[in-house]
């Protein structure tokens, strides 16, 4: 398919974008059970980054499942394809100079690792929102767990479909013990340590 394609030479490079933006680009890949806090933290981090003048984008279930991946369901194969497409879209955003925050359960290690492989070291930062199933179920902000327990939602991660814990994430956030603000500060610190945003 791709043998007759020729890449156009890029003149506005990532380096030039970073110099103009005053920060580098990378992806913060949030993973964890439904209700573990991925969206809440991703949006709160984005707000803080926006406040200090960074260029960002958040990709989460709502803006992707209704569009780019509207044709996909929740089988293992479809979940893999969902994450593959999000990975490729994320790569484009990172090339465009954005700090990209993704909030997807992304339950399978192999799928996350394939996304990691799309990036050079340091550009993919995996953030594991660690939270007990009990706590997520108690929160049940979307009512999904109750419906999954009742058998109304099939292949629901944590109930009837597995969640594979990350082996070596760049950051673990214990969202059942920390406040949202504490989690946000840890993510901002990670971005500083990695040199994505300048230190104070």
From residue 179, how far is each of 98, 133, 183, 194 by CA, in Å?
Answer: 26, 18, 6, 23
Neighbours of 101 (CB within 10 A): 29
Q: Binding of ligand ADP at residue 161 (CB under 6 A)?
A: no
Which two three-digit tokens encode residue 154?
């099939």
Residue nearest to ligand ADP (CB): 37
Kindly write out the interface string for residues 111-150 of this chain, putting x where it contacts ligand ADP by CB under 6 A and - elsewhere: ------------------x---------x-x---------
**By C-alpha distance, which of 160, 86, 164, 171 is closest to 128?**
171
Shortest Cβ distance from residue 40 to ligand ADP (Å)? 3
Contact between 162 and 168 (Cβ < 8 Å): no
Q: Binding of ligand ADP at residue 2 (CB under 6 A)?
A: no
Kindly write out the interface string for residues 63-92 of this chain, putting x where it contacts ligand ADP by CB under 6 A and - elsewhere: ------------------------------
199 is catalytic: no
The residue (of 24 and 27) whose beta carbon lies closer to ligand ADP is 27
Q: If you write DSSP's letter for every residue of 96-120 in order, what string do you get?
A: TT-EEEEE-----HHHHHHHHHTS-
Shortest Cβ distance from residue 34 to ligand ADP (Å)? 4
**By C-alpha distance, which of 44, 33, 96, 39 is closest to 64?**
39
Interface residue with ligand ADP among 183, 190, 191, 197 (CB under 6 A) is: 183
Phi-psi category of residue 180: left, alpha or beta, with phi > 0 → left and psi -120 to 50 → alpha: alpha
- Choose the catalytic residue: 25, 39, 106, 161: 106
Q: Where are the beta strands (DSSP E) in the chain?
A: 26-31, 56-60, 99-103, 124-130, 171-174
The residue (of 36 and 90) whose beta carbon lies closer to ligand ADP is 36
Total of residues contacting ligand ADP (CB under 6 A): 18
Q: With CB under 6 A as the contact rule, which of the stretches 17-25, 34-42, 83-91, 190-198 interacts with ligand ADP?
A: 34-42
Residue ranges binding ligand ADP (CB under 6 A): 32, 34-41, 103, 129, 139, 141, 175, 178-180, 183
Q: Which residues participate in catalysis according to the annotation?
A: 106
């Amino acid at each position: 398919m791709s043998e007759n394609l020729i890449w156009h030479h890029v003149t506005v490079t990532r380096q030039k974008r970073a110099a103009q933006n005053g920060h580098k680009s990378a992806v913060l890949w949030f993973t964890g059970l439904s209700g573990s806090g991925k969206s809440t933290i991703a949006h709160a981090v984005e707000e803080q980054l926006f406040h200090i003048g960074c260029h960002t984008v958040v990709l989460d279930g709502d803006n992707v499942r209704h569009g780019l991946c509207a044709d996909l369901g929740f089988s293992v194969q479809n979940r893999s394809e969902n994450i593959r497409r999000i990975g490729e879209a994320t790569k484009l955003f990172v090339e465009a100079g954005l700090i990209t925050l993704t909030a997807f359960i992304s339950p399978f290690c192999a799928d996350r690792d394939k996304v990691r492989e799309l990036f050079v070291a340091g550009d993919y930062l995996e953030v594991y929102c660690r939270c007990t199933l009990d706590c997520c179920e108690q929160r049940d902000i979307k009512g999904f767990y109750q419906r999954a327990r009742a058998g109304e939602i099939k292949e629901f991660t944590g109930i009837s479909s597995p969640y594979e814990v990350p082996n070596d994430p760049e950051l673990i956030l214990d969202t059942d013990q920390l406040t949202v603000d504490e989690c946000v500060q840890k993510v901002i610190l990670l971005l500083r340590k990695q040199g994505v945003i300048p230190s104070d």
